[in-house]
Every structure is written in structure tokens, then in C-alpha cells.
Structure 1
Amino acid sequence: MTRSVYVTGIERGDGRQVVELGVMELLTRQVDRVGVFRPLAHEGPDPIYELLRSRYRLTQPAATVVGLGHDEAAAMQAERGTDELVSQLVDRFHTVARDYEAVLVLGTDFADTGLPAELALNARMANEFGAAVIPVVGGYDQTAESVVAEVRNAHHAYASLGCEVIAMIANRVRDSAAREAARALGGHLPEPVYVIPEDPVLSAPTVAQVRNTLGAEVLLGDHAGLARDVRDFVFGGAHLPKFLPALTEGCMVITPGDRADLIIGSLAAHSAGSPPIAGVILTLDSLPGDETMALAARLAPGTPVLAVSHGSFPTAAELLSLQGKLTATTPRKAEIALGLFESHVDTGQLTDRVSVVRSGRVTPMMFEHDLIERARADRRHVVLPEGTEERVLRAAEVLLRRHVCDLTLLGNPVTVRKRAAELGIDLHLLGDDEVPETPAASARIVDPETSPLRERFAELYAKLRAHRGVSYELAYDVVADVSYFGTLMVQEGLADGMVSGAAHSTAATIRPAFEVIKTKPDADVVSSVFFMCLADKVLAYGDCAVNPDPDAEQLADIAIQSAATAAQFGVEPRIAMLSYSTGSSGSGADVDKVRQATGLVRERRPDLLVEGPIQYDAAVEPSVAATKLPGSEVAGQATVLIFPDLNTGNNTYKAVQRSAGAVAVGPVLQGLRKPVNDLSRGALVQDIVNTVAITAIQAQAAVPPPKPRDQARQPTETREEESRE
């Protein structure tokens, strides 16, 4: 039976999009097919639905999402009564519900709907849909006492109308009032009550939203600049010495276009990082000269400069009531919203109260959700050497907002902070000796060039590589490289794992690990797997990234390591040793290698299910397996697919990724004593987030690292692996 959740409110301005996004996240962790239904909608695009559709890859036909428009509903209610209106909406709801395992229902927004008794109408629709209800109360600019009263009144209103209330949420509550309200509400209602504080970043409009509101022309600026948050407005009228101290971080400067001094001064301050601004709006239909604009473009590349035809006062009137929105074009705000929801809502408790039966299938979205949840459950510390790379900084913000792990970013602190400010990213960075005040995830910046650790690492590296003739002086230069420095942090227990490769080659990322961390005692080689997230299952492909042409011994080791990695991430290992021949039907050196490797796996790990040599179609398709290898416990249902060489594996994973629309997570390195993982140089922000989460999970399974002040034990010498470029 379909389980639906109805998110509703009592008035406008409650910011319930945060809750709608958070509940959708919970539902998609449990089931494959989630539908969305908005009974009553305004004209035009629905920003929150477009966000849900984009983020959660919804394939639901857009025509089925909306029940009726508000004007049509108001007319129907006036002419034919509420019963007829609700009957129509129930029919349309069930059209969605019969095709989905769960449905998220988005209640009316109490904004110019033209409907009388709107709260009662939402309650009745929830009852008729058979939906559990989560009422949201807006607490913006209210005292704790007022928030408590509003929550109790809203609970009484919906419960008295027969609704199955499963939780109450107070949203957008000031920090000081949030703690007091949470204490006052705890245990006083039969359902759990969650209090979500106001986050100024969510209510801040982006430069792009400012542009759209004003119909402004973009004179300068790139996509990243237009995505910056506007946290304040500063109006330029004074002379430059008086004007500069008024600038605040993230402000939008509004000035007549003939004030070249204020334009250049604002952008120069941004370039110096004191403070970084969101952009500049030029008013009065006046533009500076070409020389000024050219200088502006050089001073602060990417920073938006907009132009409007009217004056500063009417511009201000339009902007002062503008608030940020969660939309498909603001994915960063969506991550911030989810982090806020997950920090202040007991998601495990709420999931239990929703009572959705978990699907037996594992979708890409479910796999990614599980990574985040597992990493967050036992938070670890990951070092990211590429601290100035845009995608890494954006991923770092997601990881911190969602409390996935603690981070160290490597790079020059001034450069990292300036780059983050230019991108509008707030990482809440800690100082060198600063202790976090809250249990939230935190980040620090370490500069390998100037860090006190450099001498310690140089001594360690020189000792480890003495047999290669590495002196202390040479080691001192080597460890300033971010990849070596990050690797040594992991070796010394100052971080639990490392992720790099967005701007470095595979060799630059993993060669330091071969030299410093080295292989596990039970591993012959360092290898990799990709988790291939298909529509209804997850497969592990190995090795598609590291070993060009493994011999039979190495191939057997790769299979055993891949099975262990698959099991660690919830994939039951059934190993297929792939070849161009199945069973005993073929011969030749390539097939014999795979046959020998299969025998070695069976000999070393008789507990593992393994089949080989076997062709790909016989490994994954039951109908083919029934013909080629009837009775096999692996054929037709393999989950770990081991390729005979890098050429075959790398091409196959990319072919499946592109042609089947699979999500490829990895490469995940295996066989190292401590986790280090490589990124594709084309990695997206979500790829980096997933890889960091995987690294944190790998670290959870490792021996707990020593405290930072402890001296790390020197690893025993193992065979050094050569990495590929």
C-alpha cells in the first residue's frame, strides 16, 4: 500500500521547503519510486518541484504532479462546493499513488490562494488521501514563548480535524529562541517536535535572483559569480574613504554607474579579500567607460557587475523584501537545507514514524544516501590536498553542512579563504589552535609550505626512503607537495584518510601512498573497484583504474580484495572472473590466466562464490547463464565483476556508465594499509562527496588512528608498486 506524507503549514513564510526537501530525502532512502503531488498550485513553474525533480531524478510526468490551479479550485469550490473540489483532488491523487511506493504531498502555501478555511481544507485533503501529516510552523523573528504557543495551536488544529500527525516542526526560529523552544516543547506533545533554526544563507537571494527580480543586464560576471549569496545591500554615495569601511562580506554594492571610484574601490577590496563582496549594481542607466570596465574585469574576474535603468531608491525598494528560494538552479542551498534538516531532526525517528517499507531494490540514490548515513554515523577526518580547487571547496561545504566528516584542506590559507569567499562558500574554518565549540563537523586549513609538521614529515619520509638515497634536504622539498603532505598526515594518524585527484594525475595521488602507507600484509597489489549503480542494483567492477595487465596471482588478489570491498558497502559478493570465453569452451593464454586466477581464489578463499572464466552476458543475465552455465551459483547473478586487464575494465565501465546511464562511484582504492582514494579529473561535486564518504567508511573499518601527539609506528617494508600516469 502506498504511504504518503503531507507537509503542510498554518500561514505563509514558514520556509517549509526545507522540510519538504528533507522528507523527500528520507523517502528516497527507503524506496525506489517516490511520487510528488501538489493538490493546489499557483500559475507558472513550481520551484520546489523542479528542485525535487532535478535532485532526485524523478521521471513522473509533470502533468500528474498538480491537482488543480488555485483559480480553478476557488471557482469550483464556490460553484459546486468543497465536497466536489476534494473529490476531484482525491481522484487525481490516486492517479499518482497507484504508480509509486510513496508519495510526498506538498500542501498549500497560504499565499494569495483565494480559498477560505485553508487549514481545514489541507487537513481534509490529508485525511482523504490517507496521508500522515507533518505541520510546519514558522518561527521567524518570534520569541520562544510565541513559537511554543504556535506549535501547540497548530497541533491542536490538525489533530482535532482527525489528521494523523506524526511530527511537528518549528522552522526558521532564531538561534537563541530555538534552544529554549525545543526545551519547552520536549515531551509536551504526543508526537515528536523538532525545532529548526533560521539560517541566513537560505534566506539570502543569489545574485542571479537579484538580476531576475530587477531585469538587470549582466555587464561582467560568470556562472559562479551569479550563484553567490547576497547577504546585505550597501548603497554608494559617499567618497571612497568613507564608503570602504561600510562594505560587508557578501554585500551587493548599489551605486550610480558614473561613480567609477566606488566601482573600482569595491572590486579592489574584493580582490584583496577585505571583504569579498557579492557584486555591484549600477543604477541611473549610466555606465562607466571602457577603461574602467576593463580594469574592473581584471581586478575581480567573475564578480558580477549588473546595470539597471532606474535609480538607487526604487532599486532598493524592489530588493529589500527579496528572499532566497530553494530552486533547481541553487543546488548549494539545497545541500545547506538538507544539512540543517538533518542536524535538527531525528531522521531515524521520523523515518520510523513515516512507516515506509524499505524497497528490496538498491537504486543509485539509495546507495549514495547509505554512504552519507554510514559516514556520518561514526565521523572521521579526511584530508583534501586540493584546497583551492572549486569543486573540492563546494564538496567540502556539502560534507560539512551534512556532518559527513571533519576535513583538513591543504593550501595557502589566504588563497583558500579568498577562493571560498569568491565562490560564496562558508566553511566555518577553524584556526590552528581553535577547538570546535559544537559537535558539528569542522574544517581547518594547513599550508604544507609553512606548517610546523613539515620538518617532522621530512624526517619520516627520509627514513622511509633512505634505501632509495633520499636525504633529509630532499625529503624537506618533497613533503611540501600537497599529495605527499596529505599522505603523511594519514600515515601519522593526523587524518583518517585522503582524497585527491580532481586536479592531479592518478600517479601523483597514489604514488605517495605506495611509498609511505604501503600495502596491507594480506594484499599483493593495490587495486580499485568502481561501484556501478544501475537502475535496480549495484555492481562492483575491478580493476578499472590501476593495474594495466595483472598476472593470475594478481588477478586473484584483485578478486578477493574486490569481494571484501563490495561486502563492506553492502553488496553481497558473487564473483565473476570475466573473459571472452565461458567455462571450458575456450583456450589460449588470456583465458588460461583467468582460469588459473579463478582456481587461486577458490583455493585461498573457499568461502567465496566465484565463477570463471565467464563472459559478461553469462555473468549478469539469467537467461544466458541458464544456457551457458546451468546450475551455477554465480552465473546470471554476479555482483563483483573482475576484468582481465585495465584496457577491458576501463572501457567497459565507461561504456556502461554512458550507454546505460549508470552512476559510477569510484575508483575506490583497496589493498592499502590506510585509505587513500583517487578522483577522476572530471569529477563532479557529488562524485567528490561520494568518494570522501567512502574513504571515511573505509577508515571506520581500519584500526583507530593514534592521537595526533603520538608517534606513528614505522610500517614494515613491502613491495613497492609502480603507479601509472
Structure 2
Amino acid sequence: MPINVLMTVPTGPGVGLTSVSVGLVRALEQQGLKASFFKPIAQPQPGDEGPDRSAAMVAQGSTLTTAESIPLQEAERYLYNDNIDELMEEVVGRFQDSIEPDSTVIVEGLAQIPGHPYATRLNKAIAKTLDADLVLVTAPNKMRVKELEHHVEIAAGSYGGIKAADVIGCILNKTTPGSLGAKSYGDSFAQRSIFKRNFKLLGQIPTAEELTYPRVQDVADYLDARIINAGEIETRRVQSYTLCARGVENMLEALQPGVLVFTPGDRTDIIMATAIAALNDTKIAALVLTGGYQPSESLMQLCGKAMAKGLPVLSVDSNSWDTAINMQSFNKEIPLDDKDRILLVKEHIARCIDHDWINSFARNQEERKLSPPAFRYRLIETARELNKRIVLPEGEEIRTIEAASICAERGIARPVLLGNKAEILRNAQNNGIEIGNGVEIIEPTTIREHYVSPMVDIRKHRGLTDIVALEQLEDNVVLGTMMLQENDVDGLVSGAVHTTANTIRPALQLVKTSPDASLVSSVFFMCLPDQVLVYGDCAINPDPTAEQLAEIAIQSADSASAFGITPKVAMISYSTGGSGSGNDVDKVREATRLAQEKRPDILIDGPLQYDAAIMEKVAKQKAPNSKVAGKATVFVFPDLNTGNTTYKAVQRSADVVSIGPMLQGIRKPVNDLSRGALVDDIVYTIAITAIQAGQAEAKAN
């Protein structure tokens, strides 16, 4: 049976009940808690098809499965026939089918929408039937703080009032900056007299404009537009729109990143101006040609390079004015196939829920696997507490700039971008990236000479001279590495445009290995659907000896432990136990023995085949007495060929997110990126680097 059942109910219409409910599930997952979700009665919106909207949003980025909701028409039929008891029996049956044992269950009540006057009545019955604690979801909706207090008290009265034992508190959603500011509004509301005893303010969720931006594809579908050039139609998002029917000189300021440009299809001048902006790397959302006019083939050829840069071009039959007016009725509800936006909403809301309250549910839950949401959350929160300064030598690269902006905005680290300041600012502006005060930009030419003498001191035994040192410092990775060596920064992240060798070689030459390490190795954090595993070494050592493999195992176990993963180390081979023989198996067997001798505090077993290490059924047959088989969290591969092949096969075949490689054994944190890294990959690597810097500092003290 579940430990806790929490039911979200609205205090009125338009409070964002579904978003808050799925955000609560994510908040539980982030803390590594067992969560379940149940939507008793479906409330489809116009155009919705397939699964219930709430259940579909919960499923994005989660391994949870949910029971099918009772169709609304069926529930209304029960009510019409005065058979509410039978309806509640159906609710209980589906509830039991949807929950995991020993979990905290989020039950989403019915929203108050036109045509559903029975919502509160059914919510009361469901809460009583499931013995649920009630969480009220409210929104200011332009109310003053005192008015909102009265509003919440009246809504709570329908469920026994704020003094009732099972009415535990409320979540304030959709706060917007006003005369008091969003945070001040929430804080003022939190100080009201209604929050006493068991009734608490459980979360304050400000609006975030970026969570409302639709994809260009969604707008194209809404306008029933013809697609002239698809470009990046599925990934670009619309932040605003503008009607351009004036002269080019009067509309240039409107050509900003994220803008949807409406213009008559025969305005060649505006079409060309938009194309020029796109060529200058301004990521305009899309160009919409109105009036049914089609651009000529020669014009399309002239603008071909702009189209190749991803600019979507659409065509509609209505005129510009009517098309722009029509956009005011665009439904900003999140399409269920917009995975990125759903995940952003869930993460945003989860961050704003009271974490102490969420953690209070952990008291009776058994230890569970560390899920990807919990892992990512711990990364960000731990890094935020450390507040480390991380240098990014590829400072002019767009993904790196955006990652730095995100890290500064969320307080993950203090990023330092190395590069030409004017170029960095231009790239940021053209891509709609806001560089706040938390991002530091350093021109390499202003600091390069400062590091010549220290670098010569480090490499003088190799005959390094001032002239050669200055020449090598022209490479920003080398410069960043010297900043790290001289303690001017706490860590370095590179590799978005450089090779692994370009990133690691300067670190080995200038920073060198840790005193207790004889080699540098790496691990990947493999974010499987239900847990995070550690793979080592998949990037550095081609064919380690038994002694080196034992050290890699110990390094990888310590890395897992440092990031909240209980290390259970499987030494991987093509043979399990004593069933096989040969040099390769013997090496793994000897490495296992050495690692166990050096670190008896770590669970290490091998040789184990991969399936015996990860699958309990196979483990019971092949290694029944092993404490690691079937439960391994750290996988140590015998050589680079095996490790790199396995990690990429798992990553690509199972659509698994991998974070890394994270380097181990270097005296100060240096981490490499894949050249295909996404912005989120860079953000998490920066967080990992910050945490490693904190660990190195603690170890030194």
C-alpha cells in the first residue's frame, strides 16, 4: 500500500492544476522517492485524442505507468443515475491498478471548467474514498494578497476548512511580477494568518515566459499553413510575432530572435531583409507569407543560404492583419508530443515545491535505485551550493554560451567564457541568449602574458621557453588549463569543438595526476529509464593492465559514491566466475582480486558477463552467491574497445542519455565534452566539474 496519498484540488478555474500535479510527481522523483500518479476521471480538452493529458505528461521523462482514467461521459452517467458509490468503487479499482507499493501517490482532482459544476462534489468524494490529504492549488489571478487569503479559505471550506487534519496546505501558482514582485507577492502571502498548524504554503511557482513558447510547427498547424521551407520548424520556438507591412528601414528592429514575421507574400524587400538577418545568425522563428502570394523561384534561390541556415518559411491565404489577429486565439496548451516543453514545465514546477516537505515522505520508503531525475537534481543542487568558478575555453561557441547563461541564471556555477567579447555578445544576441551579470567574459589577449612564467616553470625540464610558452597559450584550452593550475578558476570544461586529446593533453602536462593516482581514467553516467549506471573506462585507456584496471575500478566506485550512487562494482568479461579461461579473463580476475584487497569497503565482483551483472534472473543462474551480480551500479570494462563499443551501443540502441566522460585521477577537475554535445549536456558537465572541484578542495583540507 502507498505511504502517502496527496490529492491536488483547485481553488478556482485556471489555476494550472495539471501542471502542478505533474510537477509534484517530478519533485518526488528528483528526491529519489517512489512516486505514483492517478487521474481518476479524465477531462479532455477540445482536440485531445488518445491518453489523458495528465497521464501523458507524467510519462514524459519518467518510467511511471498510470492506469487509464474513467471517461468523463461514464462518470457523468453514474452521477445522472445517482450511483456515486458505484463510481467510487470504479475509482478504487483503477487506483489499485495504478500505484506502486510503498509509494507516494499524487492524485489529480477535477479542474473547475465550464460545464463541469460537479467538480468539487466529485473531488470531495474521491478524497474521502482514497483517504487522501488535500493540497489546494491556487493562483493570484490579479487578486490582492488579502483577497487571495479569503479565496483560499473559502475554497478550503468545501473540504472541511483549513483546520481540517487532511487539508494540509496550498501551492501558489502563476505568480507574476507586480507592484510587489513575484517573490515578494508569494512571501507576503506566506505570512498570512491562514498558514498555521498543519496548513502550510507548500510551494510558490512564478510564471516563466519561456515555458509558453510554442514550436513553429504548432503555429503552422494552427494556421493551416503551407510549408515553403521547413528548416528548423520542429525546434524553433515563437517568442513573439510582428506584422511587417512598412518599409524595410522601419522594420529592422523587429527582426529579433524568436520573432514570427508576418508579411505579404509579394513584399520581396521584407523577405530579403529577413533572409539577410538569418544569414547573420539571427534565429528568427519563421517567416509567414500572407495573402496567398508565392515567392518566385529566383527569389527562393537568392535566399537559399538563409533557408539552409534553418529559417522556416510558411504561406497562408489570409491577409497579414487577419492572420495576426487570428494568432490571438492560438491555444498555448502544451501539445502532448512537445517533449522538451513538457519536461521544462515539470522541472520548473518541481524546483519551486518545498523540498523539506517533499523529503518528509522519505521516512518509510525503502532504498531505491537513483533515477535520472533524482541524479540530475542532485547534480544541480550540489553544484549550486559550491558556487565554483568554471572556465570554458570555447567561449565563442553558441552551445557553450547558452550553457554558461543557464548555469549563471540558475546559480549552478560562475562560468568564465574565454574569447573575443564582441563575438560572444554578437552570437548571444543573434541566438536570443541573454548574458547576465553572472557570466564573466575574458579576452585571452588581456591575460595571456600573465601565465607565461608559471607555464615555463612547470615545463622547464622539457626545455620550454617564454616564446614557445606564449605561442602555446594562443590555444584557449592551454590558457584555461593554466588558469586552473594557478587557482584562478576551479575547473575546466572543453570539447564542444575540440578533440578529447586537445582537452586532456594540456591537463596531463600542466595540472598532472592526483598524488594517489597512477593514471587518468574516465566514467560515463548512463541515464537509463529507471536508474543511473556508471561505466568506466570508455574513453581513455586502450588496454589497461590488471593493476591499472583495479585502479580504474576503485576510481569509478569513488566517483559513483560521490554522486549519490551506491557503488556495486562489476568487473566485466566474456566469462562469469571461474567458467572461462584465457589471458583476457585472467586479467579481469586478477584486477578484481587487487581491487578487493585495496578497498575491502567496496562491493566488487568479477569476472562477470554483462547480463549477469545487470539482470537478476541471469545472476541467480550464473552467480547465485554474488552480492553484485544482478544489482551492479558500476560497470568496469576490460579495455577501451569493449567499453566504448558497449556505451555507444546502449546509448544509441536504447536512446539513453549519457553524461560524460568525466575524468578521474587528474589533480584538478578537467572534463571533456562530445563534439555533438547538447546544451543540457554542457550544463550537467559544468555541474559535475563544480562538484569535483568541491571534492578536491575538501580532500586537500
Q: TM-score, normalised by structure 1?
A: 0.82
- Checking the alignment, whether the CA contact within 8 Å between 1:40 and 1:73 is kept in structure 2 is no
Query: 1:213 maps to what in 2?
Result: 222
Q: How far is the alpha carbon of 1:309 from its aligned partner?
A: 0.7
- Checking the alignment, whether the CA contact within 8 Å between 1:12 and 1:111 is kept in structure 2 is yes
Work out which of the residue numbers 493, 516, 531 in structure 2 matches 1:522: 516
Answer yes or no: is 1:278 the counterpart of 2:285: yes
Query: 1:12 maps to what in 2?
Result: 13
Query: 2:483 maps to what in 1?
Result: 489
Secondary structure in structure 2 of the residue aligned to 1:287:
coil
Q: How far is the alpha carbon of 1:99 from its aligned partner?
A: 7.0
Work out which of the residue numbers 439, 442, 452 in structure 2 matches 1:443: 439
Work out which of the residue numbers 358, 367, 370 in structure 1 matches 2:375: 367
Letter matched to residue 233 of structure 1: Y
The 5-angstrom pairing of residues 206-605 of structure 1 reads 206-223=215-232, 226-245=234-253, 250-269=258-277, 271-272=279-280, 277-299=284-306, 301-322=309-330, 324-334=332-342, 336-338=344-346, 340-342=348-350, 344-352=352-360, 357=365, 359-387=367-395, 392=400, 399=407, 402-420=410-428, 424=432, 426=433, 428-430=434-436, 434=437, 442-448=438-444, 450=445, 452-532=446-526, 539-579=533-573, 589-591=583-585, 593-594=587-588, 596-598=590-592, 600-601=594-595, 604-605=598-599
Letter matched to residue 95 of structure 1: D
Is the alpha carbon distance of 1:376 and 1:303 closer, same or farther for their aligned partners in structure 2, counting shifts above 3 Å?
same
Is the alpha carbon distance of 1:328 and 1:353 closer, same or farther for their aligned partners in structure 2, counting shifts above 3 Å?
same
Query: 1:694 maps to what in 2?
Result: 688
Secondary structure in structure 2 of the residue aligned to 1:35:
strand
What is the distance in 2 between the residues matched to 1:206 and 1:196? 23
What is the distance in 2 between the residues matched to 1:580 and 1:385? 41
The 5-angstrom pairing of residues 545-694 of structure 1 reads 545-579=539-573, 589-591=583-585, 593-594=587-588, 596-598=590-592, 600-601=594-595, 604-605=598-599, 607-611=601-605, 639-655=633-649, 657=651, 664-694=658-688
Is the alpha carbon distance of 1:119 and 1:496 closer, same or farther for their aligned partners in structure 2, counting shifts above 3 Å?
farther
- Checking the alignment, whether the CA contact within 8 Å between 1:493 and 1:705 is kept in structure 2 is no
What is the distance in 2 between the residues matched to 1:179 and 1:536? 35
Secondary structure in structure 1 of the residue aligned to 2:298:
helix
Is the alpha carbon distance of 1:311 and 1:556 closer, same or farther for their aligned partners in structure 2, counting shifts above 3 Å?
same
Is the alpha carbon distance of 1:93 and 1:581 closer, same or farther for their aligned partners in structure 2, counting shifts above 3 Å?
closer
What is the distance in 1 between the residues matched to 2:405 and 2:593? 47
What is the distance in 2 between the residues matched to 1:102 and 1:658? 33
Q: How far is the alpha carbon of 1:523 from its aligned partner?
A: 0.5
- Checking the alignment, whether the CA contact within 8 Å between 1:228 and 1:423 is kept in structure 2 is no
Post-superposition Cα deviations, 1:184-221, rounded to whole Å, max 9, x if no partner, equal 32242133323322222223433233222211222234
- Checking the alignment, whether the CA contact within 8 Å between 1:501 and 1:679 is kept in structure 2 is yes
Answer yes or no: is 1:119 the counterpart of 2:120: yes
- Checking the alignment, whether the CA contact within 8 Å between 1:573 and 1:609 is kept in structure 2 is yes
Post-superposition Cα deviations, 1:235-276, rounded to whole Å, max 9, x if no partner, equal 222222233345565332222111122232344345557x76
Post-superposition Cα deviations, 1:436-480, rounded to whole Å, max 9, x if no partner, equal xxxxxx4344454x4x22232344334433333444344334334
Is the alpha carbon distance of 1:606 and 1:496 closer, same or farther for their aligned partners in structure 2, counting shifts above 3 Å?
same
Letter matched to residue 521 of structure 1: P
- Checking the alignment, whether the CA contact within 8 Å between 1:37 and 1:103 is kept in structure 2 is no
What is the distance in 1 between the residues matched to 2:149 and 2:256? 34
What is the distance in 2 between the residues matched to 1:705 and 1:417? 38
What is the distance in 2 between the residues matched to 1:212 and 1:135? 35
Letter matched to residue 215 of structure 2: T
- Checking the alignment, whether the CA contact within 8 Å between 2:28 and 2:35 is kept in structure 1 is no
Secondary structure in structure 2 of the residue aligned to 1:175:
coil
Secondary structure in structure 2 of the residue aligned to 1:136:
strand
Shifted more, 488-497 versus 522-531: the winner is: 488-497
What is the distance in 1 between the residues matched to 2:170 and 2:91? 25
Shifted more, 563-572 versus 532-541: the winner is: 532-541
What is the distance in 2 between the residues matched to 1:332 and 1:26? 17
What is the distance in 1 between the residues matched to 2:681 and 2:207? 29
Is the alpha carbon distance of 1:615 and 1:284 closer, same or farther for their aligned partners in structure 2, counting shifts above 3 Å?
closer
Post-superposition Cα deviations, 1:568-610, rounded to whole Å, max 9, x if no partner, equal 2234445454555666776665455445545544554455554
Q: How far is the alpha carbon of 1:514 from its aligned partner?
A: 1.0
What is the distance in 2 between the residues matched to 1:465 and 1:216? 63
Query: 1:183 maps to what in 2?
Result: 187
**Alpha-carbon RMSD:** 3.8
Structure 1 unmatched runs, 5+: 435-441, 707-725
Post-superposition Cα deviations, 1:79-102, rounded to whole Å, max 9, x if no partner, equal 435555444434333332367834
Query: 1:712 maps to what in 2?
Result: none
- Checking the alignment, whether the CA contact within 8 Å between 2:256 and 2:430 is kept in structure 1 is no
Is the alpha carbon distance of 1:409 and 1:326 closer, same or farther for their aligned partners in structure 2, counting shifts above 3 Å?
farther
Count of residue pairs brought into register by the alignment: 685
- Checking the alignment, whether the CA contact within 8 Å between 2:283 and 2:431 is kept in structure 1 is no
| Identity, % of aligned positions | 38
What is the distance in 1 between the residues matched to 2:612 and 2:255? 66
Work out which of the residue numbers 159, 163, 171 in structure 2 matches 1:169: 171
What is the distance in 2 between the residues matched to 1:94 and 1:633? 33
Letter matched to residue 54 of structure 1: Q
Shifted more, 691-700 versus 81-90: the winner is: 81-90
What is the distance in 1 between the residues matched to 2:636 and 2:460? 37
- Checking the alignment, whether the CA contact within 8 Å between 1:556 and 1:600 is kept in structure 2 is yes
Is the alpha carbon distance of 1:489 and 1:320 closer, same or farther for their aligned partners in structure 2, counting shifts above 3 Å?
farther
Q: How far is the alpha carbon of 1:146 from its aligned partner?
A: 4.2
Secondary structure in structure 2 of the residue aligned to 1:66:
coil
Is the alpha carbon distance of 1:336 and 1:31 closer, same or farther for their aligned partners in structure 2, counting shifts above 3 Å?
closer
Work out which of the residue numbers 192, 198, 204 in structure 1 matches 2:200: 192
Query: 1:66 maps to what in 2?
Result: 69
Structure 2 unmatched runs, 5+: none
Work out which of the residue numbers 59, 66, 78 in structure 2 matches 1:53: 59
Shifted more, 665-674 versus 78-87: the winner is: 78-87
- Checking the alignment, whether the CA contact within 8 Å between 2:7 and 2:106 is kept in structure 1 is yes
Is the alpha carbon distance of 1:367 and 1:204 closer, same or farther for their aligned partners in structure 2, counting shifts above 3 Å?
closer
- Checking the alignment, whether the CA contact within 8 Å between 2:522 and 2:539 is kept in structure 1 is yes
Query: 1:710 maps to what in 2?
Result: none
